[in-house]
Chain A
Amino acid sequence: MLKIEGLTAEIDGKQILKGIDLEVPTGEIHAIMGPNGSGKSTLSYVLAGREGYEITGGTATFNGLDLLSMEPEERAAAGVFLAFQYPVELPGVGNANFLRTALNAIRRSKGEPEVDAMQFLKLARARMKELSMPEDMLKRGVNVGFSGGEKKRNEVLQMALLQPGLAILDETDSGLDIDALKIAADGVNAMRGPNFSSLVITHYQRLLNYIVPDRVHVLMNGRIVQSGGPELAKQLEESGYTAVQAA
């Protein structure tokens, strides 16, 4: 389970997270909704371990591990996966090589045997088929020349291969048309189970029609200001964030 208590963080001296309290029990999917600038992306980066954020207070643990004291690769090995809002392009790094290196790094840390190139290809092809990804995306540079939708699908592919215990989806819906959105949502829903939890970060309710969350939290100005069931997302869609702010 992911447990965040009193988490505060700043960037360049500006406080962004102002005391986050959040629990995502194992097996549940929670959504975090909020307007632009509320701290959604900061929260995802802080949990994944990106540099440049200063943690000024609070804790974040995943299955009892102190995430904030771990390197990004250690968090990934512990099962934390961040699907990037803006997946990074890596010219010269082949997608297949990247995916296999990542998969084997995770497997090594779990004490599992590494997969060889043939085993990997078999695995990757099966997953790609599920995600309607053309096979030549394995041969290309990581995210290089990918459309917005292809990049997001590549994120979901990585998640499907790495089988994380906690997936943080940072605005995975942005830039996706409805078909791509469904494919991405199917990818997440396929992961659902007693050992998987997810934090779905989104501006819009749209994605939550396809990934139905157990809980919805509203993040505004660096704090969780409201929590509720899936119906909260629909209310927000109708009334907008300003109504919450006024409440």
Chain B
Amino acid sequence: MSVLFEPGPEGFLRRYEGLNARLPGHRTPWVTALREQAAKAFREQGFPTRKIEAWHYTDLNLLARSGFAEALTPVDEDVALPEATAPQRVVFLDGRFRADLAETPESGIPVRSLGANLSAAEGLLGGVAKLDEVPMAALNTMLFEDGALIDLPAETNGGAIELLSIIQSGERPVAVHPRHVIRLGKGASLVLIERAIGRGDGCYLHNPVVEIVLEEGAHLTHARIQQEGPAGLFLSTVFAKAAAGATYDSFLLHAGAKLSRSEAYVSLDGPKAMAHLNGAQLLSDGQHGDCTTFLDHAAPDCASRQTVKTVLAGKSRGVFQGKIHVHQIAQRTDGYQMNQALLLSDQAEIDSKPQLEIYADDVKCSHGATVGELDEDQLFYLRARGIPAATARSMLIEAFLQEAVDAVEEETARNALATAVAGWWEKVA
């Protein structure tokens, strides 16, 4: 490994000090102020360690001891693209917006490069992110160069968009910090399929942050598909807030990477807002996957649904942490949380931490967790019908995952997720 790149937080802070006069927005005072604030927050917090309660099960040692460089990808580098999962697509190669690779149907909506359109993101960028609490988001804010900016006017149907990020890895570890900013105006709707894929076997850090503002009655379907390379580190954060009657319908899929942790901070700020924080983690030997969510019920009559399923094969480790905070004002909250893990090996481990904090007195909140192996009775039933043991196991694992994906109502997103799940299963089976 090159000695040029200092490991740990210092390496990133050094990069910021060297680069900040060239980063996008370096002449725009509100941007430089935001970056300074982020640098300060990151300097104070450093990388989270296992001493922090929310990081007890996920160790970032691998990240802290590696030195990362910038990706020096030519702006017109050729890249093979996977089949699109939605009619409209924007592509980021090694973190850079590639307008030339975008596919925009006639009905498409404007998706702009954040780096090139920072002035249009004033008031939005940094508006929802919690830099002082989330060091990875502070790191992203300090160093982001590009991302997608989607600002959908009121009462617009934005259709379905794939936001594809491809990171190429080689011998030298690179770090990419994309920043996506999304606002749906009153009554607007959008299906966003955020897909991260890795090319190559090298180590890299992909540290995307998505900020989402949903105005009254807006509806966002947000499918996140992580298919990073085998040595990739995926640390992603979503900050979303939903106004009255708005719906944030999300599904997170972890299907790749050496280590992945996705955090979601979702706040239901207006009455009758709704959130789905569903997900599935598909972990095979040597992988670590962590799905951590913080859900704020900050207004009355809101509902939330969360089902997260994890399949663990070989020596893998899965984490689910789901905190639901029901504020005193949030009367008649309707919350449901379920976490299920399927252990396919004795060496796999799942840590599950549901956390409900309820300060309102008129609420309906339920949660549950199951951890198990494949059901012997179900296996026997299939085998007694002549189905070979290996096929029977396969059918039951697929069924477990199918149920997770079936929770996604929107068809384009559901199909994209189902394809990704089937692809994973074909590789593992």
Contacts of A84 in B (CB 8 A): 381, 384
Q: Contact: B399 with A93, CB < 8 Å? A: yes
Chain B residues within 8 Å of A137, by CB: none
Which of A73, A77, A87, A90 has a CB less than 8 Å from the CB of B396?
A90
Q: What does the 1/0 interface line of B362-375 toward A look like (CB < 8 Å)?
A: 00000000000001
Counting CB contacts under 8 A, is B21 at the interface? no
Q: Could you tell me if A158 and B385 are in contact, using CB atoms closer than 8 angstroms?
A: yes
CB neighbors of B among A68-96 (8 A): 71-73, 75-77, 81-82, 84, 87-88, 90-93
Q: Tell me the complex Cα distance, A106–B382, Å.
A: 12
Contact B376 A51 (CB under 8 A): yes
Most buried by B among A84, A91, A93: A93
**Interchain CA distance A97-B402 in the complex, whole Å:** 13
Q: Which of B381, B388, B400 contacts A88 (CB 8 A)?
A: B381
The residues of A that contact B401 with a CB separation of less than 8 Å are: 92
Say yes or no: A93-B395 contact (C-beta < 8 A), given A88-B377, A88-B378: yes
In B338-383, the 8 Å CB interface with A consists of 375-378, 380-383
* Contact with B398, one of A81, A87, A92 (Cβ below 8 angstroms): A92
Q: Tell me if A48 counts as interface (CB < 8 A to partner B).
A: yes
| Whole-angstrom distance between the Cβ of B391 and the nearest chain A Cβ | 7
User: A152 → chain B, closest Cβ, in Å?
Assistant: 14
A141 to B171, CA, bound (A): 48
Q: Is B389 an interface position by the 8 A CB rule?
A: yes
**Which A residues lie within 8 Å of B392 (CB)?**
73
The CA of A106 and the CA of B401, in the complex, are separated in Å by 26
Min CB gap B66→A, angstroms? 39
Q: Is A105 close to B, CB under 8 A?
A: yes
Question: Which residues of the partner chain A approach B399 to less than 8 Å between Cβ atoms?
Answer: 90-93, 141
Contacts of A162 in B (CB 8 A): 385-386
**A49 to B405, alpha carbons, bound, how many Å?**
34
Interface: B201 (CB within 8 A): no
Q: Is the CB of A101 within 8 A of B395?
A: yes
Residues of B within 8 Å of A93, CB to CB, are 395-396, 398-399
Residues of A within 8 A of B402 (CB): 92
Chain B nearest CB from A13 CB (Å) reads 19
> Which residue of the partner chain, among A71, A90, A97, A106, contacts B381 with CB atoms under 8 Å?
A90
Q: CB of B387 within 8 A of chain A?
A: yes
Instruction: Tell me if A90 and B383 are in contact (CB < 8 A).
Output: no
Residues from chain B with Cβ under 8 Å of A141 in the complex: 399
A92-B403, A93-B399, A101-B391 are contacts. A106–B384 as well, Cβ < 8 Å? no
Is residue A109 contacting chain B, with contact meaning CB distance below 8 A? yes
CB proximity of B408 to chain A, nearest CB, Å? 14
Closest beta carbon of chain B to A69's beta carbon, Å:
15
Q: Which residues from chain B sit less than 8 Å from chain A, CB to CB?
A: 375-378, 380-389, 391-392, 395-396, 398-403, 406
Query: A residues within 8 Å of B by Cβ?
Result: 48-51, 71-73, 75-77, 81-82, 84, 87-88, 90-93, 97-98, 101-102, 105-106, 109, 141, 158, 162
The 9 closest A-B pairs by CB, nearest first: A92-B399, A76-B386, A102-B385, A72-B383, A88-B381, A105-B386, A106-B386, A92-B403, A92-B402
7 more CB-based (< 8 A) A-B contacts, given A93-B398, A162-B386: A48-B384, A71-B389, A75-B384, A90-B395, A92-B401, A102-B382, A106-B386
